[in-house]
């Protein structure tokens, strides 16, 4: 199982410690990369302590907050060489193991790109049963080689939206998997404290979506 797990943090050390320790309790041998998005609190000290204490755990520190999607992209392009990558949000708590093995087996199929909890969204990233499928980022398992051929993850409420849209157009498959049976996601742990940082564009997208555009 050639997989690297990645957790992106921005100034939520309390949540991050739970996410890291609970994952490592079940997968101590799986490489874990913690990417810190320019935190100005004591996150760096915690991450350094976790990296020293827990085996196969390393840290990457960005100088500033480049936001979640671009940080995921940077980790994929600059810091990971494994066949598969598993993104785990900092506001999660892993309750049991077995999911990485199952997701890895599904992703091993030639035309499968990503595995996880799917939802259907429109072009703006809002839920829409007439749209196209994406996989939620809190627990996203993907094949790194395919990612390199697709548009990058972006700063967006759904950072995978352009990436997954083109994946569909190329005939790559996204497979639904009940990962929430294994991992609890607290939802919006970072966003509730700091927002999405989307500014006027985020408000405009929300408004236009309400109008049906």
Chain segment 125-153, per-residue pLDDT in tens? 667 788 889 999 999 999 999 999 999 99
Question: 82 with 76: CB under 8 angstroms?
Answer: no
Q: Which H/E stretch holds residue 95?
A: none
Q: Is the pLDDT of residue 209 over 60?
A: no
pLDDT at 126: 67
With 60 as the cut, is the pLDDT of residue 194 above it? no
pLDDT band of 204, cuts 50, 70, 90: very low
88-124 per-position pLDDT tens digit = 999 999 999 999 999 999 999 999 999 999 999 887 6
Query: Token pair for residue 185?
Result: 């996601």
3-state secondary structure of 197: coil
CB atoms within 10 A of CB 110: 7
118-129 pLDDT, tens digit each: 999 887 666 778
In DSSP terms, 135 is beta-bridged to 118
Alpha helices (runs of H) in 30-124, residue ranges in sequence order: 43-53, 68-78, 99-107
Asked whether the predicted pLDDT for residue 74 surpasses 50, the reply is yes
Is residue 84 a contact partner of residue 3, using CB atoms and an 8 Å limit? yes
| Token couple for 143 | 């094949």
At residue 51, what are phi and psi to the nearest 5 degrees?
-65, -35
| First and final C-alpha spacing in the chain | 43
Residues 6+ apart with CB under 8 A from 94: 19, 22, 23, 25, 26, 27, 88, 182, 183
DSSP 128: -
Look over the chain and give the mean of its residue pLDDT values, rounded to a whole number.
89
Domain ranges of the chain: 3-210
> In the predicted model, is pLDDT for residue 1 greater than 60?
yes
Paired tokens of 116: 């996880």
Q: Encoding tokens for residue 163?
A: 């990436």
pLDDT at 206: 39
Give me 124's structure tokens: 């703006």
pLDDT-derived band at 200 (thresholds 50, 70, 90) equals very low
In the chain, % of residues over pLDDT 70: 86
Identify the CATH homologous superfamily for domain 3-210. Spore Coat Polysaccharide Biosynthesis Protein SpsA; Chain A (3.90.550.10)
pLDDT tens track for 32-62: 999 999 999 999 999 999 999 999 999 999 9
**C-alpha separations of 146 from 113, 127, 133, 152 in Å:** 6, 25, 17, 11
Q: What angle do CA 51, 53, 59 make, to 5 degrees?
A: 0
Angle among Cα 51, 52, 53 to the nearest 5 degrees reads 95
Position 188 scores a pLDDT of 54
Q: Is the pLDDT of residue 193 over 70?
A: no
């Amino acid at each position: 199982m050639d997989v690297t797990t990645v957790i992106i943090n921005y100034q939520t050390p309390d949540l991050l410690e739970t996410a890291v320790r609970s994952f490592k309790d079940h997968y101590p041998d799986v490489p874990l990369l913690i990417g810190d998005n320019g935190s100005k609190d004591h996150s760096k000290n915690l991450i350094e302590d976790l990296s020293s204490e827990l085996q196969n755990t390393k840290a990457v520190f960005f100088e500033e907050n480049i936001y979640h999607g671009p940080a995921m992209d940077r980790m994929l392009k600059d810091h990971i060489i494994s066949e598969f990558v598993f993104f785990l949000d900092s506001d999660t708590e892993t309750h049991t193991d077995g999911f990485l093995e199952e997701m890895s087996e599904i992703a091993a199929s030639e035309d499968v790109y990503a595995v996880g909890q799917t939802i259907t969204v429109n072009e703006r990233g809002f839920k829409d049963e007439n749209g196209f499928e994406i996989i939620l980022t809190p627990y996203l398992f993907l094949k790194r080689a395919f990612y390199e051929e697709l548009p990058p993850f972006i700063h967006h409420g759904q950072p995978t939206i352009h990436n997954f849209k083109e994946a569909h157009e190329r005939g790559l498959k996204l497979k639904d998997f009940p990962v929430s049976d294994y991992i609890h996601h607290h939802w919006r742990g970072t966003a509730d404290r700091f927002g999405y940082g989307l500014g006027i564009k985020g408000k405009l997208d929300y408004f236009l979506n309400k109008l049906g555009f």
